[in-house]
Structure 1
Amino acid sequence: MSFDYEDELLVCVTCGTQFDVTAGLKSCHICDDPRQYVPPTGQSFTRLSDARRSQKHKNEITQPYIDEPRIWTINTVSKLGIGQRAFLIKTQHGNVLWDDVAYIDHETVEKINELGGIDAIVISHPHFYTTHLTWSRAFNDAPVYLASDDEEWLARSDTRCVRRFVDTPVKEVLPGVTAIKVGGHFPGSMVLHWENRLFVADSIQVAPSALYDVDRQEGTVSFGFLWSYPNMIPLSPAAISHIVKAIQPFSFDIAHGMIPGAEVKRNAKAKVIESARTIISAMGYRWEEYV
């Protein structure tokens, strides 16, 4: 696969953001923000063409859920950028890509086309904007849904007019597939609801204590709510409460997180609420003041 000039655009090695320049960039505005970080070795950049030639990266596209063959995950090994996974959700009305990964090559496009291609792309927040315009172009200029609140973080011009800015609390991108603006991590941070599942990213993060789900004590935290995960900066009780209220109208039992293996397999909605209650109480506030 070759997109000519897009192959040569600089990509931040740390976060995966793609820029509209081919050389001369010394800093990444995403990594310089307090929610992200610059690694000890300093800021560095690559290009999609260089990443492919290095043969260090491969997108593993798998069907990990025995009970749900309509969901596929895309995980780059070794990672390019933050290391999140993307989800391809196959619905009767078309395929939706939830979040994306920075790396994309011919094999990735070929495999996804075998699965029906991509009809819409929804990205949760600016840390995962990465190479979304390249992804869109690879799949017939698929529309890309982003929160209007976070437009200032974009690093490339949309010359093909594929971006669709979400400026309402909820947006149905395909019938039955709904982006929900929850805020928190970024003002426009979104989650995605489909059937009985919620796909989450940084505003609602699956916690390690969620992964063992046998005889758990009351108050066990299954989800975290942070302004910055790598730098461990918390959200305020009001911000956490807003997240809970945003998802309250939706029914879901299962939640899928941004990292491979981050799954809450039952009672996910109740566990979001329980986690919020535990965290707000641990911060010294009364939960009842925020519900």
Structure 2
Amino acid sequence: MDGEELLVCKTCGTQFDCPATSPLPGCNICDDPRQFVPPTGQVWTSLGEMRGKYENKWQQDPEEPGMWSIWTEPKFGIGQRAILIETPHGNVLWDLITYLDQPTIDFINSRGPLHAIVISHPHYYTTHLTWSHAFSSPVYISAADTVWLNRAPSALHPASKFLITPTTDILPGITAIQAGGHFPGSLVLHWAPEARPEINGGQRRKPRLFIADTIVTVPSGMYHKDRPPGTTSFTFMWSIPNMLPLPPSEVFGIWKAIRDFEFEATHGAFVGMDVRRGDVKKAILESMKIQVRYEGHERAAIFDEM
């Protein structure tokens, strides 16, 4: 498999263009103030060294049959999931996990041709060229974040797509949105699935927003019956592990990016971070106002939004 013996950071899962036998002094992703180096110091591995120690799992969404979560056990790196989205125009993989093996390749191929890989931000670039090579699929990332790429593509890899416009249509019904915040080019992905006779008898399917870490689902957002005023559902962070929130201007920028899109569910970076409610877009705006208010900015522009 492509990149089998290349260096991989155990903390974040990023793959580098050098052999694991000649490790770097540090990982530029983990040395960035948004991330961290563990107390034990920098630790490296490779895909080859991971064989036999990890496996990937997948599960169909309980509500949307055209959506699958894919994750690694035991947990590796940050522990995020990838999400496979199935459409009649081809399939899209949203975000990546580091570990890739033949059973995972076989499963994804069994669901139909993979048209595109779209990655929300640099923490999930991981082994992106290994995935791209395995599926002969281009990788879509924000041009604003290319400084964080740690592998250079070769002739073996499909050309990567660097997104420069506020929105990019990946396939009919699937749109990448540059929202910024966590990283300058942080993306979310909007999906408005088509009604299809073979899925739910052709009934209407909910539009969805895949939010990764651009919009962070919090525990109080998972239950919403009879919640008192001021209960937040989401937070907006520059650094999640180091708990550094975004300022009001960046929070407002995220809202402006998604404001014109309708959706009735959000799907976060980790398995189980799924908020399914008709007013979820309203909950995002309310959560933005709650955060900005507690940051001490009562007159911020976000309060003019309805």
**Identical aligned residues as a percent:** 51
Distance 1:29 1:36 in 2: 10
Partner of 1:96: 92
Partner of 1:209: 220
Match of 2:254 among 198, 222, 243: 243
Shift of 1:289: 3.1
Asked if 2 retains the 8 angstrom alpha-carbon contact of 1:136 and 1:162, the reply is: no
Distance 1:263 1:202 in 2: 13
Partner of 1:37: 36
Distance 2:94 2:273 in 1: 15
Distance 1:8 1:281 in 2: 49
Asked if 1 retains the 8 angstrom alpha-carbon contact of 2:292 and 2:300, the reply is: no
Shift of 1:175: 1.0
Under a length normalisation based on structure 1, what TM-score does the superposition of the two structures give? Answer: 0.95
Match of 2:53 among 56, 62, 68: 56
Partner of 1:74: 70
Distance 1:289 1:113 in 2: 46
Structure 1 residue 143 corresponds to structure 2 residue 148: no
Distance 1:282 1:151 in 2: 33
Most deviating of 180-189 and 209-218: 209-218
The one-letter code of the counterpart of 1:151 is T
Structure 1 residue 232 corresponds to structure 2 residue 247: no
Distance 2:112 2:276 in 1: 27
Under a length normalisation based on structure 2, what TM-score does the superposition of the two structures give? Answer: 0.91
Distance 1:253 1:286 in 2: 28
- Local SS of the residue matching 2:53: coil
Asked if 1 retains the 8 angstrom alpha-carbon contact of 2:133 and 2:158, the reply is: no
CA offsets, 1:68-103, max 9 Å, x none?
100001011112211000100001111000001000
Q: How many residues align?
A: 284
CA offsets, 1:184-229, max 9 Å, x none?
0000000000011000111201111011121112221111101000
Partner of 2:297: 285
Distance 2:113 2:56 in 1: 16
Structure 1: state its 5+ residue gaps. none
The one-letter code of the counterpart of 1:94 is G
Asked if 2 retains the 8 angstrom alpha-carbon contact of 1:95 and 1:120, the reply is: yes
Distance 1:287 1:36 in 2: 31
Partner of 2:182: 185
The one-letter code of the counterpart of 2:251 is I
Structure 1 residue 119 corresponds to structure 2 residue 131: no
Structure 2: state its 5+ residue gaps. 193-206
Distance 1:126 1:254 in 2: 24
Structure 1 residue 10 corresponds to structure 2 residue 7: yes
- Local SS of the residue matching 1:149: helix
